[in-house]
Amino acid sequence: MAINSPEGTRDLLPDEAKFWAHFRDTAFDIFARYGYQPIETPLFEQTDLFVRGIGQATDVVSKEMFTAISGENFKRVIEGDTIKAKSRLSLRPEGTAGVVRAVAQHDLVPQGAAPAKLMYAGPMFRAERPQKGRQRMFNQVGIECLGAEDPSVDAEGIIMLMRFYAAIGVPMDATRLLVNSMGCEKCRPAYREAVRAYMNEHADAMCDECMRRAEINPLRAFDCKNPGCAEVMDGAPKISDYLCDDCREHYEAVKAYLKGAGVVFVEDPKLVRGLDYYTRTVFEVQVDQGMGSQNAIGGGGRYDKLCEEVGGRPTPGFGFALGYERCALAIQAAGYTFPSAQHCDVFVACVDDSMRAEAFRLVQACRDAGVSAEMDHQHRSLKSQFKLADKVGARLVAVLGPDELAAGQVKVRNMQTHKERLAELDKVKELLSRFGGEPFGGAHVAVDEVFGTEE
Ligand code: HAM
């Protein structure tokens, strides 16, 4: 029986893999204008980092982590021994905890330093029930800004994200930005208590899991998909009535910056996000076109206590992540198709096999000079080589034939105009060797310059 990819994973085939690279590069280009620099952290971390950082009561930690133990520890577990906490490892379900751990570990924001602005892209892993737009391995692009609590950081981050969506082709008229403030450690405890009390009053109508989790974090009930819970939570106390003066001022400033930049948003006092580290600003971007029930294409917020939580010095933070796959669905629903990943400047065809060695040298010289080139590797007829050239999207076909070679020439056909001309082989080779000194990222010569254009 054939073995397929694991449930909840997807292969990105060449056209989409190229689009994903373009998606990531476009995001990084835009984010770099705002001062963000790339960071790469491990795909797995100590499980404790996620438990402490993201929160034990969250679905992500309590149900969705892929947890592993390395070889020698696996043997210990089988034999009934316990293993050290640091030997318990989990695949990262998100990027924030790892980046904040790296900031703390390498002291990237020493006292009084400018904020560290970091961006990342790569796979995340959550053992969720797969459905459209929800996978077990998915790609995120994200940013984290550590070291500043000013509302301007939150606002510029949200603006930057909206600019990126527009640039990459997410249909902005079908997109909704929701914002809220979750308060801080001064005002949230009272709010949490109010929600807990409210839930206790309505315990009969709520699911067991919400009631159980209410002990650790009652705010998780806002995320429950159970219709009975959702109805009860509609009438729950609103955080906006509990914010302290500082949080209210911070929230008002974020909104004023957004309005000033012409960014349209909707306030949603029930938006709590699925991760426990947030303080103050939270936001989410949803798209209604082409999505299933998973319509959040990105989200984030402020987490001023997370760095301390994972053992670093007190360092305020703000960040977001966006899901590549959901964005791709939204972009495709708006009519976009991935362009072909195939790129070929020139296909070198041979009239017969005696020309193959010459064709092989010419193709290599083209590639060394920065021209993408291809030839047939299956001893096809000339007609079928032309078909192949068409299939790989070659702009030009250079035909090596005995008559042309005897005259020191190569016949060049423009595949768009179908016009043909003869180019001097010595001149072609001389031009290619002139540019061919630096095969790895050196000079790139235009294919037309080498093979000439038909006038
Ligand atoms: P999140 O809301 O859990 O936030 O995920 C961000 C985005 O990742 C979602 O809006 C969605 O587009 C995508 N996503 C999440 N789970 C899946 C899935 N199972 N399949 C496909 N796409 C998915 C975070 O991850 C936070 N770390 C964001 C953040 C950064 N907050 C502060 N800094």
Which tens digits make up the pLDDT trace of 70-104? 777 888 888 888 888 888 999 999 999 999 999 99
Point out the annotated binding site. Answer: 94-96, 126, 140, 144, 273, 277-278
Tokens linked to 208: 């067991």
Pick the CATH number of 14-172+271-333 from 3.40.50.80, 3.30.930.10, 3.10.129.10, 3.40.50.1360: 3.30.930.10
Domain parsing of the chain, residue ranges: 14-172+271-333, 344-451
Q: What percent of the chain has pLDDT over 90?
A: 81
Write down the pLDDT at residue 426.
94
Q: Of all atoms in ligand 1, which is nearest to the CA of residue 274?
A: 3
Give the highest mean pLDDT range of 263-267, 342-346, 442-446.
263-267
Distance 93 CA to ligand 1 centre (A): 9
- Pocket around ligand 1: residues whose beta carbon is below 6 Å from it? 94-96, 126, 128, 133-135, 138, 140, 142, 144, 274-275, 296-301, 319-323, 325-326
**What confidence tens digit (pLDDT) does each residue in 311-332 have?**
999 999 999 999 999 999 999 9
Average pLDDT, the chain: 93
Closest CA to 202 of 224, 232, 230: 232
For residue 297, the CA-to-ligand 1 centroid distance in Å is 8
Residue pLDDT, tens place only, 411-436: 999 999 999 999 999 999 998 888 77
Q: Which residue has a Cα nearest atom 20 of ligand 1?
A: 134
> Is residue 324 a contact partner of residue 169, using CB atoms and an 8 Å limit?
no
* Residue in the block written with tokens 């020191």: 408
Q: Which two tokens stand for residue 166?
A: 């527009």
Contact 168/327 with Cβ under 8 angstroms? yes
Cα 18 → chain centroid: 13
- Which among 99, 118, 124 is the best mutation to test ligand 1's pocket, defined by most ligand atoms within 8 Å of the CB? 124
Q: Which fold has domain 344-451?
A: Rossmann fold (3.40.50)
Task: Give pTM, 2 decimals.
Answer: 0.93
Ligand 1 atom closest to the Cα of residue 135 is 20
> Could you read off the pLDDT of 232-250 as tens digits, one per residue?
999 999 999 999 999 999 9
Q: What pLDDT score was predicted for residue 423?
A: 95
Q: How confident is the model at residue 440 (pLDDT cuts 50, 70, 90)?
A: low
What is the CB neighbour count within 10 angstroms for residue 239? 26
Question: Which residue's alpha carbon is at the smallest distance from atom 31 of ligand 1?
Answer: 300
For 76, residues 6+ apart whose C-beta sits below 8 A from its C-beta are 82, 83
Binding site members for L-histidine: 94-96, 126, 140, 144, 273, 277-278
In the structure encoding, which two tokens stand for residue 331, read together?
């972009």
Distance 65 CA to ligand 1 centre (A): 14
